[in-house]
Amino acid sequence: MTQNDTYDAIIVGAGHNGLTTGCYLAKAGLRTLIVEKNDWIGGAAVSRSLHDGWTYSNCSYVCSLLRREIVRDLDLPRFGLQVIPYEGGATFTGDGDYFAYMSDHDALRREIARHSPRDVDAYDRFAQTVMRQCRFIRPFLLRNAPDPTSLHPRDLGELAFLVKQAHGLGARELGETIRFWTMSIGDFLDEHFESDLIKAHLAGSGIIGTGLGVYSPGTAYVLLHHYMGDVDGSIGAWGFARGGMGAISNALGQAFAEAGGEIRTGAGIDRFRVRDGKIVGIALENGDTYDAPIVASNMDVKRTFLRHVDRACIPDDFHKAVTRFKIRGSSAKINIALDRMPAFPAAPPNAPFLRGDLHCSTSLAELERGYDDWKDGRWSAEPYFDMLIPSQIDPTMAPAGQHMMTVFVQYAPYDLEVDGVRSGANWTDGARDALADCVYEKMQQAIPDIRDRIVHSEVRTPLDIEREVGLTEGNIFQGELTFDQLLFNRPVPGYADYSTPIDGLYMVGSSSHPGGGVMAAPGANAAREILRRAGRGRKMPRLAS
C-alpha cells in the first residue's frame, strides 16, 4: 500500500542543514515534509547508544561553527540545546612531555615559553592574524556567494559588498588576506613559530576532514573553517553539545515540529521526480510518492545528481561538473566506551586541558607523511587524531565513573589500497581492526593503558560513514574545501545560489556555500533563497550582519 500526498516543500535528508532549511520553510508557512532514510534524524550530527549505557556522538563530535544567529533565531536552547566550551587541549609527545593549550592566557604563555620563549608573542601574532581573517569572513557565511560572471544586480550587490569589505582592510591587510587564503597551514605556522610541537598542535585544524596535507596550499583557509566558529562570542572556541551532537539535530527537529513540519524517517529516496525541467516531487524506495513544487536535497551534490536524478534531466555540462566535484574520504572515526577515566601519566592530575582536544602528532613532517600515505591509498602509518572525552563534563554520555571517548582519525582513505587495487571493498573487518590497532599504538604516547580501558569500540571507516550517513566517501564536508570548490564555485560554478538546473530543486547541504562543519549556514542560506524565489522572502529573518 503506497502513500502519496502533496506538500509545499519537501526536504530530502534530515541532517542539520536539511532540518534548518525545514525550520525556516515551515516557519514561513510552507507545508513542509522532511524524509530521512535512516530511522533517526540528524545525518552526521547524531547521538547514538551503541553500547548499553553509553551515548556516542558517532560522526561529528564537537561544535562551534553552528551559527549563533541561527541558534538564537530558531530558539534552539528552548529545545534543550546547550553548548559547553572546552577548557583547552594538548598534544602528547612520545617522551613523557606535552604541549597544552590552556584557556587561561597567562598559563598559555607560560606553557608556550616552556617550549619556546620566542613563540610566546608569536602566538599572539598568530592569533591576531587568524582572528582578523575570521572577522573578515564571518559576514560572508550567512550571505550568498556572488557569481563574478553574472551581471545580475543581486550578484553585483554581493560583489560590491565583497569589494567594500576588502577595501576596508587596506592594502597591507588585503595582501595578507590574499596570502592567508592561498597558503598552506604548514607554511603559515612556519612563518610564526619555531617549536615543532606547537606547530603540530595547531596544524590539525588545517587538515581535518580534507584530502590535503599540511603543506598543501589552501589549508590555512581550512584552519579558518575550524576557527571561525564561536561559542558565546569567543572566536575559535569549541564546545560539546550536552547529550552529544544529536542534541543539535533533536533541537532542530523539535523546532521544525513546532513550526508545523512533518518528518518521515526510514524513508529513503529513490528518485527526484522531474517533469519538463521542473521538480514535481519525490519517489521513495518503498514506492511512496509525494508531490511538491519545491524540493531540497540535503544530500551532497554527487549523491543527489548521480544517484537520484534521471541523467536525462540535467545538462551535460552540469553533469560533468558534478562528476568532477571532488569529495574525498580522508578520515575515520573510532568511538570508545572506557571503563574509567584513563591515566595520562605525562599530565598533572585533573589537568583542565584533558577536557579538550588531545593529540599525539608532534611535527608537521609527521603530519605530511600521514598525507603521503593517504595519497597512496593507505591509512597513515602514524595517524593524526583528534580525541576527546566529553563524558568528563557531560554526565549524560556514560555511566557514572565510566567514560566515552571520541577519536577522529586522519588520514584514512575511502578506496583502500590492497595488492595494487584501490577499492572501498578492501575495508574488511580485518582492515578495520588493523586501523584501530594503529591508532591505539600511537595513542599510547598519551594513554599507555588505552587497550585495557576499552569496554566497547566502534570503528567507522569512510565507507561506513558513507553507508550509514550517506555522505559520499564519508567526507565530512560534503566536498573538498579547495579553491575550486569554494564560494561561487561551490558546488558548481553558476549554481552557488543553492539552485540547480532543475527548476524548484535546491541544494541545502554542506556541498553548498559556505561548506561543511556543523554550521547550519548552507541550510539557512538556502532557505532564504527558496523563500525569495517563492515570493516569500519577507518571511525569512535577516541573519547576516
Partner 1 sequence: MNTHTVPIGLVPGPVHDRLEALSRAKSWMGWAGYISPAVLETAEFEYFAIRNQTTLFDISPMHKYRITGPGAEAMLNRMVIRDVTRIAPGRVGYVMWCDQDGMVIDDGTLFRLGDADFRLCCQELMYSWLLDAGWGFDVQIIDESHRVAGLSLQGPTSWSLLKEAGLDLGDMKPFDCRQVEPGLMISRTGFTGDLGYELWTGWDGAGALWDRLWAAGRNWGLRAIGYVALNIARIEAGFIAAGMEFQPVHAARRLHRGRTPIELGFGRMVHWDKGHFNGRRALLGQLGKGSRYSLVKVDIAGFKPAHGALIYHRKRREVGYVTSGVWSPTTKRNIALAELKAPYGTTRTDDLWVELYVNEEGRWDRRMLPLTIQDKPFFINPRARATPPGPF
Partner 2 sequence: MSGVFDAVVIGAGHNGLAAAATLARAGMRVLVVERAKTVGGMAKTVDWGAGAKGPEIAHLLYNLSPAVTRDLKLSLDTRSLPTIALSPDGAHAVMDGASLIFAAGGMHPQAADYAALHERLCRFAAFLGQLSDKPPPSLAGGLASLRDIGGMARLGLGLKRMGKADMREFLRVILSNAHDLILDELPDGPIAGALAADAVRGVWAGPRGPGSVFTLLYRMGQGGGAALPIGGIGAVTDALARAATTAGAELRFGAGVASVEVEADTVRGVTLEDGTKIAATAVLSSLAPLPSLHLAGAAHFDVETTRRARKVRAKGTVAKLNIVLKSAPDIPGLTDAQTAGRLIVAPSAAYVESAFNPVKYGAVSKHPVIEAVIPSLTDPSLCDGDRQVLSAVVQYVPHTPEGGWTDAGRAALTRRIIDTLAAYMPGLPELIEGKTLLTPADIEHLTGAPGGHWHHAEMSIDQLLTVRPMNGMARYAFGVSGLYLCGASAHPGGDVTGSPGPNAARRLLQERSA
Of the ranges 163-171, 221-229, 327-335, 444-452, which one interacts with partner 1 (CB under 8 A)?
Answer: 163-171
In angstroms, the CA 208 to CA 203 distance is 9
* DSSP assignment of 267-311: --EEEEEEETTEEEEEEETTS-EEE-SEEEE-S-HHHHHHHSS-G
Binder of residue 183, out of partner 2, partner 1, none (CB less than 5 to 8 A by kind): partner 2
Phi and psi at residue 227, in whole multiples of 5°? -100, -20
Q: How far is the CB of 487 from partner 2 (least distance, A)?
A: 9
Binder of residue 280, out of partner 2, partner 1, none (CB less than 5 to 8 A by kind): none
Annotate each residue in 160-179 with x if it binds partner 2 (CB under 8 A) or - if it does not, as one string.
---x--xxxxxxx-xxx-xx
Binder of residue 158, out of partner 1, partner 2, none (CB less than 5 to 8 A by kind): none
Q: What angle do CA 241, 244, 249 make, to 5 degrees?
A: 85
Which CB atom, from 344 or from 506, has the smaller least distance to partner 1? 344
In angstroms, the CA 542 to CA 140 distance is 13
The beta strand positions in 363-469, using DSSP E, are: 384-388, 403-410, 416-418, 421-423, 454-460
Of the ranges 169-177, 182-190, 274-282, 360-368, which one interacts with partner 1 (CB under 8 A)?
Answer: 169-177
Binder of residue 399, out of partner 2, partner 1, none (CB less than 5 to 8 A by kind): none
In angstroms, the CA 148 to CA 512 distance is 17
**232 counts as binding partner 2 under rule CB under 8 A:** no
In angstroms, the CA 526 to CA 18 distance is 10
Cis peptide before 411 (omega within 30 of 0): yes
Considering only residues 375, 395, 421, 433, which one is a binding residue for partner 2 as defined by CB under 8 A? 375
In angstroms, the CA 160 to CA 155 distance is 8
Q: What is the 3-state secondary structure (H, E, C) of 305-346?
A: HHHCCCHHHCCHHHHHHHHHCCCCCCEEEEEEEECCCCCCCC
In angstroms, the CA 504 to CA 310 distance is 15
**421 counts as binding partner 2 under rule CB under 8 A:** no
Q: How far is the CB of 231 from partner 2 (least distance, A)?
A: 30
Cell of 198: 606547537
Binder of residue 96, out of partner 2, partner 1, none (CB less than 5 to 8 A by kind): partner 1
**109 counts as binding partner 1 under rule CB under 8 A:** yes
Contacting positions for partner 2 (CB under 8 A): 148-149, 163, 166-172, 174-176, 178-180, 182-183, 187, 190-191, 212, 215-218, 317, 324, 326, 365, 368-369, 372, 375-376, 482-484, 488-489, 493-494
Contacting positions for partner 1 (CB under 8 A): 96-98, 102, 104, 106-107, 109-111, 114, 117-122, 124-125, 127-128, 131-132, 135, 168-170, 172-173, 345-348, 351-352
